[in-house]
Structure 1
């Protein structure tokens, strides 16, 4: 591909990713313990035929899972690109800031407080658990931004260090609460924290959808600010950019995306690390192209990873967070090695 035309490269990459996503959707919606032909799926979606079994499998199990995976992957990919941009650290990941850990701790706290008093799998619990996770993620981000400020300004390197400390602290609290739980609730907490979308439903989709609709456009309108933030602090201030305001807005938007994703799918790691790196290699270093490509690459990672987790050990299912981590860990080591050589 011609390096002189990053827009052309971007559209080529987006088209390729959408083709991969379409193939994964086809495999996910047609295969499983209850196989359905593509003709019957189209007829069911268009309401040409009305078979209760098809309606149940497609609309209640498979379609919400696919849609949720796409939304979560898109949100995590964009959030990762923003966090790496504002910290000027290519090894930064949304999980390293402690947002995942804060949201996970809130879910475990919910299970611990309400054990024996309400059905954890009931409708009320399904609606409340994402809200608890969202509050936990936002609370974690507030603490991080509070302690990451130095001389009244948000320090990018301090942000990473505080995030690691918060992750460790929230993880310790989560472990303490887990040891106090009954075995059934503990099993549910472990599945949630591993990063899973196989319990997806339309309530979860509606929970994360507003965040994905509102926040990415706000982020994209500030792609020039993200490009400028890659320069040294002195150079950035010399250009007249309100650094702290832009950094705070971008951070809040990325935190919102991460917290909303964790609230419905648990802690899916490495998407926010790998997707931006792939975007930079495939398109350019301008966030005008990195942001949309990161989102679509993240979307493809989660949808494909969920299909792999659903089929490789069928009839048992492997959480998508585990599948992506199997790929992400060696890729993270590779990034560490290459960064050390530079």
Structure 2
């Protein structure tokens, strides 16, 4: 049973994070290459703006903000699940190579598969999932030993190795591609939020609507997996089955996110850690905080990055790395 004081603390933190996220969204709606004054935001949202104001808000700003918010939540939840099933604080979809696997699949799909533009949007999360899932399978296979089970430290090392190898594959693909397609892949690798139209939101939303409630439902299973294996087996948990199901969930969340945002790392590392610091290790408490915090962090990274340099700004993936990489090094030093 969770202590009522811990639940009250979690709700207070969630309310604060939601308020901070709303503030960043309002700031983001007004900032940009084509400025939109804040006193015109509410009339424009209510359909009383000029053509230019409505175009900037509804066709440019809002889709990007929503995509960034959804992707941040998905990456944070994916990282929290991976850390839970591996009992390794360094596990994260960008660090252990899952994002790279999705990226190679997207690059192959983009370069060599002729497809209509309308179908491209909805097919991308599926392609990313297949690439990420294949990568996760090999990482899991190389990290697993029959006599000792999954080796958490080995998983991180194998994942980093796969990430580097897949980066080499991506370089080979880029070197043989047309200039226009190379530009797209380069922006994807930098973590540029490229899926900024409403169809991309409809493409990622079903994945989020299914996987977030499912992951929250599995929170107690993650608590048991965080214990040592004899204890988890003793309470009747099918360890390998639960790990596989949760791994699929984490991979699907990461793949859906990076398919529309590019290769963004460290959000899945930073958000779960901060959530544990704020509300403790129990997943019923820290998973919701991780989700909201991930959306907030990526929104901040993208809003700051796209307004630092005109007109294209700095990709959100680079901004997230500037925040997350020092924290990753701190964790390595600490452990």
What TM-score do the two structures reach when normalised by structure 2? 0.91
Gap change, CA 1:291 and 1:164, over 3 Å in 2: same
Moved >6 Å (runs of 4+)? none
SS at match of 1:54: helix
Q: Distance in 2 between matches of 1:152 and 1:264?
A: 40
Contact 2:90–2:156 (CA<8 Å) still a contact in 1?
A: no
Aligned to 2:263: 267
1:169 aligns with 2:168: no
CA distance in 2 between counterparts of 1:336 and 1:16 reads 30
Shift of 1:273: 0.4
**Superimposed CA distance per residue, residues 36-78 of structure 1 (whole angstroms, 9 cap, x where no aligned partner):** 233432222222x252212211111100000001100111111
Distance 1:156 1:86, change over 3 A: farther
Q: Among residues 139, 152, 172, which one is paired with 2:134 in the alignment? A: 139
Find 1:323's aligned residue among 319, 324, 328: 319
Q: Say if 2:281 is the partner of 1:282.
A: no
CA contact (8 A) 1:145 1:159 kept: yes
1:128–1:251 distance in 2 versus 1, CA, 3 Å: closer
For residue 16 of structure 1, give the secondary structure of its aligned residue in structure 2: helix
Other structure's SS at 1:86 match = helix
Counterpart in the other structure of 2:302: 306
C-alpha distance after superposition, 1:66-92 (max 9, x if no partner): 000110011111111110011001111
Query: SS in structure 1 opposite 2:88?
Result: coil
Measured after TM superposition, the shift of residue 236 of structure 1 is 1.6
Distance 1:284 1:29, change over 3 A: same
> SS at 1:96's partner residue?
coil
Residue 156 of structure 1 deviates from its aligned partner by 4.3
Q: 2:214 pairs with 214, 218, 221, which one?
A: 218
Q: Distance in 2 between matches of 1:46 and 1:315?
A: 28
**Whole-angstrom distance in 2 between the partners of 1:241 and 1:14:** 30
1:145 and 1:154 in contact (8 A); partners too:
no
Preserved contact between residue 140 and residue 155 of structure 2 (Cα < 8 Å): yes
Gaps of 5+ in 2: none
- State the TM-score, normalizing by the size of structure 1: 0.90
CA shift for structure 1 position 125: 4.4
Does the C-alpha gap of structure 1 residues 276 and 192 become closer, same or farther in structure 2, counting only changes over 3 Å?
A: same
Q: Tell me which moved more, 329-338 or 137-146.
A: 137-146
The corresponding residue for 2:180 is 184
CA contact 1:134–1:262 (8 Å) conserved in 2: no
Listed as ranges, the gaps of 5+ residues in structure 1 are: none
- Farther off after superposition, 124-133 or 185-194: 124-133
